[in-house]
């Protein structure tokens, strides 16, 4: 599992751009920037929709005031689902990226499966703060359905 002091892997994520699906290289996205990245089990799922994403949305201004360049949500979903989810929540102030093959999620050791509900190689709930691609703060949740450890307020207090 990734740890404080580690460099983020340069995995390819996906988003919907003007011409359709496009690749987003994590290395290029984080180079020379201060970013918060949070991962969650899935778009349109309960806690992710009602608590986790909203915790970052309501604190967006405070993150901006601390010099955070971008808040990025990563989920093991395709980019079309991530775009629809963002629009449904009014979360356009955040960057929601799909990790459809779980490439980034596996590279940082945050993958897990809950086969009875159809979650295969999904993401654990976590939040991290990185400067120039180096992890400075890492909060990993350990209880399904809860996001206090990886919530926006907790990350904000840590940076």
CB within 8 Å of 151: residues ≥ 6 apart:
51, 52, 55, 127
Contact assessment for residue 9 and residue 30, using Cβ atoms and an 8 Å cutoff = no
Quick one: the chain helix, strand, coil %, rounded to 5? Answer: 30, 35, 35
- Active-site residue (options: 8, 24, 29, 48): 48
Question: Whose structure tokens read 């926006």?
Answer: 152
CB within 8 Å of 28: residues ≥ 6 apart:
10
Number of other residues whose CB lies within 10 A of the CB of residue 29: 19
Q: Is 147 a catalytic residue?
A: no
Task: Specify the 3-state DSSP secondary structure of 136.
Answer: strand
Number of other residues whose CB lies within 10 A of the CB of residue 128: 25
Contact assessment for residue 146 and residue 66, using Cβ atoms and an 8 Å cutoff = no
Residues annotated catalytic, as ranges: 48
């Amino acid at each position: 599992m990734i740890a404080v002091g580690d460099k983020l892997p340069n995995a390819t994520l996906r988003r919907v751009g003007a011409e359709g699906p496009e690749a987003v290289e994590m290395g290029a996205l984080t180079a020379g920037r201060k970013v918060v990245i949070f991962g969650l089990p899935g778009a349109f799922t309960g806690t992710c929709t009602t608590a986790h994403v909203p915790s970052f949305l309501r604190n967006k201004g405070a993150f901006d005031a601390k010099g955070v360049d971008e808040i990025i949500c990563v989920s093991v979903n395709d980019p079309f689902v991530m775009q629809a989810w963002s629009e449904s929540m009014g979360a356009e102030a955040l960057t929601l990226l799909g990790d459809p093959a779980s490439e980034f999620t596996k590279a940082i050791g945050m993958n897990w499966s809950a086969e009875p509900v159809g979650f295969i190689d999904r993401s654990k709930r976590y939040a991290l703060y990185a400067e120039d691609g180096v992890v400075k703060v890492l909060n990993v949740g350990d209880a399904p359905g809860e996001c206090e450890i990886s919530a926006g307020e907790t990350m904000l207090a840590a940076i």
